[in-house]
């Protein structure tokens, strides 16, 4: 049947590494899974500003404060960039935000944890943005053109985020014993949630097979998670800190670190909305959206007036 013929032609383009653009024919399911992933990626960027926002007024120096502000501003830009990429698939930003505010749409589990000390700003930049980079570099080569192109700029800014985070951790680890203890405490609290950012195990991943076939996902959840562990353990050793995983050990044969079992009940609990900060994060986002309604309405009224004047 011709539907099969169209899908076969589509898959052939994907297999040849041809970028799919907004105006191209695509299976409904391809459109749907991209709207799902890109909008949730955008939600992650927007909600991801909140944990760090907590430390803008508490930053130890003006320099650290201005760097943190710049990072948070970048995340807002990443979110808007990704909402625009999602809109190319025929969805409205208001619908995407309604899905977030109603609890229907997900955002990255990592942002449901509290930021308890300044060292968390280091751990987040280093581990969370570090993990995001590992996940986002392959997305620069994914099959959907607007998403791949958005990722190229996002990745450039993410590397600044990760480096400033590691710089905070280095300062603390070279500081007083209390400062080094703060860095270890932050590592203890952010290590496992950072590994959970890569998603469930490959065996438990419902979207991976289809996303891999459509070259949306170029590496599996477990492959990227392994990359994160292999890259980060030497950095932890350089800092003189300890990985909070007694089962961690280097396998000289494979060249990879083997690590302990992830607490998937914690992961699933956070996804169900029962993480430490889920309710607070969503309430903050809903309040910001409602408080901004007058401004959005004024912009629309002004645009309508401009259009009426032009038409007159
Ligand atoms: N937090 C919340 N939900 C998660 C999750 C996490 N860490 N990991 C997986 N999930 C969800 C998936 O969205 C999916 O649910 P859904 O079908 O309702 O969307 C379900 O768990 C099963 O997971 P799958 O592996 O089957 O889903 P995916 O194939 O979509 O893989 C993913 C999950 C790897 C996160 C993929 O969606 C992805 O690569 N997304 C783009 C990257 C992204 O969103 N990164 C967020 C990191 S934070 C960030 O970027 C901000 C940075 O600037 C700090």
Per-residue pLDDT at 9: 95
Q: What distance in angstroms lies between residue 39's CA and the mean position of ligand 1's atoms?
A: 10
pLDDT at site 197:
98
Q: Are 138 and 88 in contact (CB under 8 A)?
A: no
pLDDT mean across residues, the chain? 97
Q: What's the chain look like in SS3? A: CHHHHHHHHHHHHHHCCCCECCCCCCCHHHHHHHHHHHHHHHHHHHHCHHHHHCCCCCCCCHHHHHHHHHHHHHHHHHHHHHHHHHHCCCCCHHHHHHHHHCCCCCCCHHHHCCCCCCHHHHHHHHHHHHHHHHHHHHHCCCCEHHHHHHHHHHHHHHHHHHHHHHHHHHHHHCCCHHHHHHHHHHHHHHHHHHHHCCCCCHHHCCCHHHHHHCCCCCCCHHHHHHHHHHHHHHHHHHHCCCCCCCCCEEECCCCEEECCCCCHHHHHHHHHHHCCCHHHHHHHHHHHHHHCHHHHHHHHHHHHHHHHHHHC
**Integer-rounded Cα radius of gyration of the chain:** 21
CA dist., res. 108 & res. 291, Å (int): 24
Please tell me the predicted confidence (pLDDT) of residue 3. Answer: 61
pLDDT of res. 244: 98
Q: Tell me the best of 108, 124, 211 to mutate to test the pocket of ligand 1, counting ligand atoms within 8 Å of each CB and taking the most.
A: 108
Is the pLDDT at 2 greater than 70? The verdict is no
pLDDT score of 150 more than 80: yes
* Range 126-151 average pLDDT: 98
Digit-coded pLDDT (tens) for 218-271: 999 999 999 999 999 999 999 999 999 999 999 999 999 999 999 999 999 999
pLDDT score recorded for residue 262? 98
The set of protein residues with a Cβ atom below 6 angstroms from ligand 1 is: 36-37, 40-41, 44-45, 48, 75, 78, 106, 108-109, 128-129, 132, 135, 158, 196-200, 205-208, 211, 217, 221, 271
ipTM, two decimals:
0.97
Q: With 90 as the cut, is the pLDDT of residue 206 above it?
A: yes
**pTM score, whole prediction:** 0.96
Residue 312 has pLDDT above 90, yes or no: no
pLDDT tens digits, 72-82 = 999 999 999 99
Q: What is the pLDDT of residue 1?
A: 52
């Amino acid at each position: 049947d011709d539907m099969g013929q169209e899908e076969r032609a589509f898959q052939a383009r994907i297999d040849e590494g041809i970028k799919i653009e907004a105006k191209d024919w695509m299976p409904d399911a391809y459109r749907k899974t991209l709207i799902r992933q890109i909008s949730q990626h955008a939600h992650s960027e927007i909600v991801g500003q909140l944990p760090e926002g907590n430390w803008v007024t508490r930053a130890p120096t003006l320099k650290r404060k201005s760097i943190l502000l710049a990072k948070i501003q970048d995340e807002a830009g990443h979110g808007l960039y990704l909402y625009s990429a999602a809109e190319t698939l025929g969805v409205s930003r208001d619908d995407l935000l309604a899905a977030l505010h109603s609890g229907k749409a997900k955002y990255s589990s990592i942002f449901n944890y509290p930021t308890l000390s300044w060292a968390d700003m280091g751990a987040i930049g280093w581990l969370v943005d570090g993990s995001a980079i590992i996940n986002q570099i392959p997305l620069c080569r994914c099959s959907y053109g607007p998403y791949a192109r958005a990722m190229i700029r996002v990745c450039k800014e993410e590397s600044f985020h990760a480096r400033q985070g590691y710089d905070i951790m280095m300062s603390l680890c070279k500081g007083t014993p209390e400062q080094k203890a703060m860095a270890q405490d932050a590592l203890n609290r952010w290590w496992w949630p950072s590994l959970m950012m890569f998603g469930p195990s490959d065996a438990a991943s419902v979207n991976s097979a289809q996303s891999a076939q459509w070259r949306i996902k170029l590496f599996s959840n477990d492959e990227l998670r392994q990359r994160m562990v292999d890259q980060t353990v030497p950095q932890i050793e350089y800092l003189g800190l300890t990985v909070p995983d007694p089962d961690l050990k280097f396998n000289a044969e494979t060249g990879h670190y083997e690590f302990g079992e992830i607490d998937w009940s914690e992961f699933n609990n956070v996804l169900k909305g029962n993480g430490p900060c889920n309710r607070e994060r969503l309430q903050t986002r809903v309040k910001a959206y409602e408080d901004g309604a007058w401004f959005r309405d004024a912009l629309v009224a002004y645009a309508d007036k401009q259009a009426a004047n032009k038409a007159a």
